[in-house]
Structure 1
């Protein structure tokens, strides 16, 4: 994809030129313009690739999203509730349908119009739901649009309508999208008190699957560190606040009990629990509250659903950071299920990666667990994953780490693992992927294989170039 960008008007002029100067049909004119700009290395992801509609007098009008935006602006100015409902729904639908239309609307003042509609809808529930839906659609991928006034409006809506599940869901969607890849919004929402509002929504509306899943996802987003524009974020601090100040672990695990047959919600809850497993005592608390039991049960019951399997494996990997919890996981029979997950989804690199990583954490500093894993086919499954995904560096790296952890304190396991063909596969991973070099070398060394150990630093000081 190209790195250069152009304005919507530039693209529209090129399309119009193709129509008028070269007598192309509209669809052909658009295709030709796309090819021209892409050949020049232009990124067209933010461009609406369509011909502008023709008015009654034969002139080209603005794009449909801009016409909708103009109608919305007039409805706001006239405080016409009926037209507001119609135009907000149209705007939301068009923003969801095409990301480029959403970008064009964002550049053309849509946020201010939608925020004004939200204010006008304060006492009109149906209108507020439509306005929040439009705001969520507009913020998708454009969190920079939200300002302090918008954050305050969302927090106020969440507090004032906390007993209204549908309104709460609409506002939580906005919060979640505003915080993805946006550290400033995350910190501002947390300072504004969004964490107790989110955990409270899960506890209060525990029967609403969609709300529980969305609120859990919003909590998880608060623990992300995905904004490349800031040197460091508050992800760890936010995770601790969710657990220590808002009883987040208990709230999430209690919520899971109401959705034993809903794999989608349970998957969201597992993913969020994994993000909160940032301290030893938190991992232990998850086990004490019954979180491990529901994870193991979920993995067994939803083995046919790869998305759920991946999230559960990630959660098990996270809580296994506590050495005592490692034993509880193995005692619960999770190792056999992890091996089964890798074997059953061998073609899925993400599941192979997470499965190998989870087994690797369970093996770390635990010789007894290593024996259980090898006897249960864990090493064999990891090597099969390496064969299935030779180009996936993450799979290769986690499998090498697992092999290394299995034998580092259990030398008696070297022979059985080498008999499975581990040496050749690890050597291939080391040769193919630079990022695997260190861990692959460590695995070969601990397996007792011949390996060249490089001396990275001799302890001697050298002169500095002037």
Structure 2
């Protein structure tokens, strides 16, 4: 608790800059040494400097103004050029400001504190009546500023974002940049998500994927934004609309069809395919949606990808997640097994045994396929699934996720098929599961269930051994 309290100490940029200035003026240090000394001084006191620009402020060119940081100098120059409504100068200063904000999170934070958002909004409004190059630069700067700071966007900005996307739907670069702003506005911000959905952002995102089906960056960005719409990540809100948004994407905007068609358009782009599969996973929230993925040919694409793109670990993880998601439907479980999905999953886990994430995702997918399905369990065991899971447990004893999913898989394989208990025990399952139980608190319940269903003797721990009245009054 003490550590957490210490780490949460904050100071202002002015306080940090004053310490740097003191080191330069009083102790005659060079700029770099002065900054390094200030960082060490504050960090030794447990101050969190993640939002502090760790450079010495620069004196302005004419030497008259007070020294300032590059990002604030760019902001001042931008504001001055806006007052004179000079688009070319605005363009230059926007580019400078954008570069500074992209450079580090602390620069974005400082700029936001010093009123950057209304200045960018003014540049954006000027750009809508000016030219496309300026509009693109204004959006780029806004995307950079709002990264990690979704609270900055107000209703006027959100409306302007929808209008900009609607009016420039055919421009791939502008669309990509606008969608990035949408994503930054909605990450960890339920109110912005709901506002934008009501304002009509969902059809703009799905249409962007269809309209720019040859533009990888647009498809990737739109997929990411669609996923963010299905998040429930704003701790300030007790209940979000994640499920409703997923339903709207699928039912009102043909989301699954759009994603599956896009996957066909990018057969050789693992990065885009990863995004598409990841987004499919987020949308498979109802039985009929899982079935729709199969009906649209999505299952065949997923199984083929698993077999053909085995060298791309990130893509493999997303394909496994998508298979796991659609296997929530019992009919789809059988369809995956019929399509040879279990063999592909086992082969993938065996090939990537060194990767804890692939092992965890593989076990999780097989676990869902085996749930309440003795026939599927037989296919998995006979295809080497139990052996692969135990090898994964052996390879990653410290990875709680691998241990937990493997225990759950073993349990599902034997719970309705007792005949598999002995062959699985002969592979050394009892010792590995007991080890997982002893090493990871998170595995206690699933390990116990697996051991019980394997027919092993399970020691029940007594959680409270004190006598009545022992607790401090």
Q: TM-score, normalised by structure 1?
A: 0.95
Deviations 1:107-155 (A, max 9, x none): 1111111111111011311110010011111111111111101100000
Please tell me whether residue 83 in structure 1 is matched to residue 89 in structure 2.
yes
Give the CA deviation at 1:58. 9.2
Distance 1:80 1:211 in 2: 30
Instruction: Count residues with an aligned counterpart.
Output: 459
Give the CA deviation at 1:455. 8.7
Deviations 1:228-262 (A, max 9, x none): 11112110010011111111111111121111111
Mapping for residues 299-378 of structure 1, pairs under 5 Å:
299-378=306-385
Partner of residue 206 from structure 2, selected from 174, 199, 202: 199
Paired residue for 1:268? 275
Partner of residue 64 from structure 1, selected from 70, 75, 100: 70
Paired residue for 1:463? none
Please tell me whether residue 186 in structure 1 is matched to residue 182 in structure 2.
no
Give the CA deviation at 1:336. 1.9
Partner of residue 111 from structure 1, selected from 106, 117, 121: 117
Distance 1:341 1:139 in 2: 39
Partner of residue 432 from structure 1, selected from 439, 444, 447: 439
Give the CA deviation at 1:454. 6.1
Paired residue for 1:38? 43
- 8 Å CA contact retained: 1:356, 1:398: yes
Distance 1:230 1:346 in 2: 40
Unaligned runs of 5+ in 1: 458-465
Partner of residue 242 from structure 1, selected from 227, 249, 255: 249
Distance 2:403 2:64 in 1: 61
Deviates more, 1:446-455 or 1:189-198: 446-455
Distance 2:236 2:64 in 1: 46
* SS of the residue 2:128 aligns to: coil
Deviations 1:291-340 (A, max 9, x none): 11111122222211111111111111100101111111111112222122
Distance 1:389 1:226 in 2: 30
Deviations 1:328-380 (A, max 9, x none): 11111122221222222223222221111001001101111111112222112
Deviates more, 1:366-375 or 1:284-293: 366-375
* SS of the residue 1:374 aligns to: helix
Q: TM-score, normalised by structure 2?
A: 0.94
Unaligned runs of 5+ in 2: 465-472
Paired residue for 2:9? 4
Paired residue for 2:26? 21
Distance 2:460 2:207 in 1: 55
Give the CA deviation at 1:47. 0.5
Query: What is the root-mean-square deviation in Å for CA atoms of aligned residues?
Result: 1.8
Paired residue for 1:444? 451
Deviates more, 1:194-203 or 1:317-326: 194-203
Give the CA deviation at 1:438. 0.8
Distance 1:331 1:94 in 2: 54
Partner of residue 290 from structure 1, selected from 297, 309, 312: 297
Give the CA deviation at 1:403. 0.7
Distance 1:59 1:345 in 2: 59
Distance 2:448 2:378 in 1: 22
Paired residue for 1:51? 56
- 8 Å CA contact retained: 1:52, 1:60: no
Give the CA deviation at 1:24. 2.1
Distance 1:451 1:315 in 2: 35
